[in-house]
A and B are shown apart, each in its own frame.
Chain A
Amino acid sequence: MARYAWLTILLPLLGAVINGALALRRPEARRLVSLVGPGVLLAAFAVAIGVFLDVRHAEAPIRVMLWQWMPVTDGLQVDFALQLDRLSTVMLLVVTGVGALIHLFSLGYMRADKGYARYFAYLNLFVAFMLVLVLGASLPVSFIGWEGVGLCSYLLIGFWFEVDANSDAGKKAFLANRIGDFGVLVAMFVLWWSVGTLDYEALARQAPAMLPYAGTTATVIVLLPSLGFTDKRAPTALYTWLPDAMAGPTPVSALIHAATMVTAGVFLVIRTGVLFALAPVAMEVVAITGALTAFFAATIALKQNDIKKVLAYSTVSQLGYMFLAVGAGAWTAGLFHLVTHAFFKALLFLGAGSVIHAMHHALHEAHRHDDAQDMRNMGGLRRAMPWTFALMLIATLAIAGIPPLAGFFSKDEILASAFVRGEANPVFLAAWGLGLAAALMTAYYMARLMAMTFLGRFRGPEAAEPHLHEAPAIMTGPLAVLGVLTVVGGALNLPAFAGGSHALEHWLEPVLAPANALLDPLHLPHGLTEWLLVGGAVLVAVTGLVLGFTGTTRREIPTPDRAPPETGFGRILAGKYFVDEFYHRVIIAPVVWLSRTVLWRGIDAFLIDRMGVGGSARLAQGLGWLGSRLQNGQVALYVTLFTVGAVLILRALVGG
């Protein structure tokens, strides 16, 4: 089956073409769209399982060569090839599996939308590109997928483009991504120049010999794409686009901005792990930015009132954890958290989607225009939506890190890895501390979200309350599947103290061997230290949850129209540290000013249009006017001029 892995890309692509054609020609053919959209994903998932079964027995990575892409010279040979190994197969399963669930959920969520076919076309296209990114055997192939998912992200964020804010958010995401793409491109050039290949396999083989350990080249190569992975991985510097990306339909947030695309950066870091292992400085940078991101994003999430914004910042924060993990060289922990996060965050987003769906419907029935996403308008939804509540509660406990749910094991492993690295390098100890603090806040803001949404009494308009209802089965079904995965996902890499054998770790060993060979071996603690770390993490999680629940339920929560403005530090958090405002003042406003005043009004309108184009016309006109004044029909003038001219010529001829 592995030979046919390209089917997993082709199927969603085909779906995108069909749905796209339907969107243009027959938007009313909803049944066909409903069949094709999720259908191709389910088929792709089936193929993915087949591929997985093949790879399970394969000794070496399977390379599926599709065609020669860039046969430039002997030195630069880029093939359009797919690499199926244990790493890409995990991603393949996650992307197609979670993707299929989200497609199914979308059937219910987008049912009443007039862009139904267009939506599924975009979603299919996204999955196709995501699989190119994941399965590509070399950086350029992955880069196609990288660009493609950026495009689809733009299309889907701006899906409801009739509203200016949405299309602006799409543009913002696109531009922020472009900045990072530049870094990736430059890194590829440097890599080809210094190592001479862009294939992952060849890189893992040749890079350790050709690049000096901790040398400048390796550091530059790695930090440049880090800048690139920055955008999709969305840590500190460029993360501001991600919360804005919530302007798209909620299942999109679940698929793109939680489960797959934003984690592509983590995946690529693991893929090019050898290069990172060659640059210890870069590893430290990645780890500490990851930890800082986890910390600061969590603080922002504490004060958000939009249910999707909380989840968005939570995603940024969890991405920080993943980067902390790969920065610490705990590749498996990073991938482990990526997978479990895909489960529980997709569940949270889809759950939020079903809450928003219900709120939207109820407010619509009540003819009200309150914000369907503002948690201050919710409350008490537990009674109307028991299923959504129960499933989101599972996900909340998982993300907070309560055993034995998936998030507990992955987060615990990341923190333990950072702690172990901290013995040799205090940077990682600081990262561990930040990670632990972020874990406390994670538990707090998730408990706050749950309490504000589901507990207490309904704070929205009274007329809307009777119309609240549980989502249809097509929406709760995928939620339930994700709920099961959230519960059992931890089994993927169960640590020894819980009776497991680090299955994922062993599974990935062949892929990670070249990178691990360059690093100090990472021995996770055993015995007392381990129990202390685990106990501490659980204690932190429980404390956060309790504080969050009690802190939210005890207080009367004012509705948005009566809410007092935030003051003090809370204002800074609610304002997201004013990073957007900072970017606006320091980068965007000067650029706009430069473009408008200098480039447009100054150079274009004045210098080129007025002086250049208009000026030359006026000059010719003026000269022509002068000439025409001479030609006035008066013979006397002609004669006078003739005489004067003759005298002058005579004078010149005679000389003197």
Chain B
Amino acid sequence: MLIGESLAVSAVLFSIGVAGVLVRRNAIVVFMCVELMLNAVNLSFVALSQLHGMSGQIMVFFVMTVAAAEAAVGLAIILAIYRHTQSVDLKSINLLKG
């Protein structure tokens, strides 16, 4: 039932997400990469629930809920920053520094 393949896809998706977060400068893209990582994790949950019972699938619902809330808050923050600086470039958002 394709557990190995599913996990491989999940790992690839997660890695793409991480790479995106690390290298991209646009806040929206970084945000989307974070979503990608979440969904990669969801995929691995679903795949593994075939071995360990339903709890993995239930966990996916929680993740989705939190991701929805996070998307609402995160997008609102990005919007607020854009209003303030006319930019969503992470390089220019560096007011908090030592």
Contact = CB atoms under 8 A, between A and B. Distances in A.
B40 to A, nearest CB: 15
Contact of B94 (A628, A634, A640): A634
B95 interface: yes
A633 B98 CA distance: 8
Interface string B52-78: 000000000000000000000000000
A66 interface: no
Contact of A632 (B18, B25, B97): B97
Size class of the contact patch on chain A = 10 to 19
A608 interface: no
A643 interface: yes
A372 to B, nearest CB: 75
A635 B98 contact: no
A591 interface: no
A633 B91 CA distance: 9
B51 interface: no
B98 A639 contact: no
Contacts of A630: 98
Contacts of B90: 634-636
A633 B94 contact: yes
A628 B98 CA distance: 5
A635 B96 CA distance: 10
Interface string A609-645: 0000000000000000001111111111001100100
Contacts of B93: 633, 635
B21 A639 contact: yes
A627 B22 CA distance: 21
Contacts of B25: 636
Contact of B98 (A631, A640, A643): A631
Contacts of A635: 90, 93
A640 B30 CA distance: 13
B22 A633 contact: no
B2 to A, nearest CB: 24
Nearest to A644: B22
Contacts of A632: 94, 97-98
A505 to B, nearest CB: 93
B21 A627 contact: no
Contact of A631 (B18, B22, B91, B97): B97
A643 B94 contact: no
B91 A643 contact: no
Interface in A419-454: none
Contacts of B95: 633
Contacts of B94: 632-634
Nearest to A632: B97
B22 A639 contact: yes
Contacts of A643: 18, 21-22
Contacts of B22: 636, 639-640, 643
A586 B46 CA distance: 93
A645 to B, nearest CB: 13
A444 to B, nearest CB: 87
Contacts of A640: 22
Nearest to B93: A635
B79 to A, nearest CB: 17
Interface string B81-98: 000000000110111111
A634 B91 contact: yes
A627 B97 CA distance: 11
B66 to A, nearest CB: 19
A633 B96 contact: yes
A632 B93 CA distance: 11
B90 to A, nearest CB: 5
A643 B20 CA distance: 12
A359 to B, nearest CB: 79
A630 B25 CA distance: 19
Contacts of B96: 631, 633
Nearest to A636: B90
B67 to A, nearest CB: 18
Contacts of B91: 634, 636
A382 B88 CA distance: 111
A630 B98 CA distance: 8
Interface string B4-27: 000000000000001001100100
Interface string A577-600: 000000000000000000000000
A640 B24 CA distance: 12
Given A634-B90, A636-B90, A627 B18 contact: no
A438 B15 CA distance: 108
Contacts of B97: 631-634
Interface string B23-60: 00100000000000000000000000000000000000
A84 to B, nearest CB: 83
Contacts of A631: 96-98
B25 to A, nearest CB: 7
Q: Which residue, of A629, A631, A633, has the highest number of chain B Cβ atoms within 10 A?
A: A633
Nearest to A640: B22
A633 B96 CA distance: 5
A639 to B, nearest CB: 6
A646 to B, nearest CB: 9
Nearest to B90: A635
Contacts of B21: 639, 643
Nearest to A647: B18
Nearest to A639: B21
B21 to A, nearest CB: 6
A636 B94 CA distance: 10
Nearest to A646: B18
A427 B90 CA distance: 102
A639 B95 CA distance: 16
B77 to A, nearest CB: 12
A633 B90 CA distance: 10
Contacts of A627: 98
B14 to A, nearest CB: 11
A630 to B, nearest CB: 7
A629 B98 CA distance: 7
B39 to A, nearest CB: 18
A629 B96 CA distance: 12
Interface string A36-63: 0000000000000000000000000000
Nearest to A635: B90
8 contacts: A631-B96, A633-B93, A633-B94, A633-B96, A633-B97, A634-B94, A640-B22, A643-B21
Interface of A: 627-636, 639-640, 643
Given A632-B94, A636-B22, 16 more contacts: A627-B98, A628-B98, A629-B98, A631-B97, A631-B98, A633-B94, A633-B95, A633-B96, A633-B97, A634-B91, A634-B97, A635-B90, A636-B25, A639-B21, A643-B18, A643-B21
Question: Shortest 5 CB-CB distances between A and B: which pairs?
Answer: A633-B94, A631-B98, A633-B97, A628-B98, A632-B97
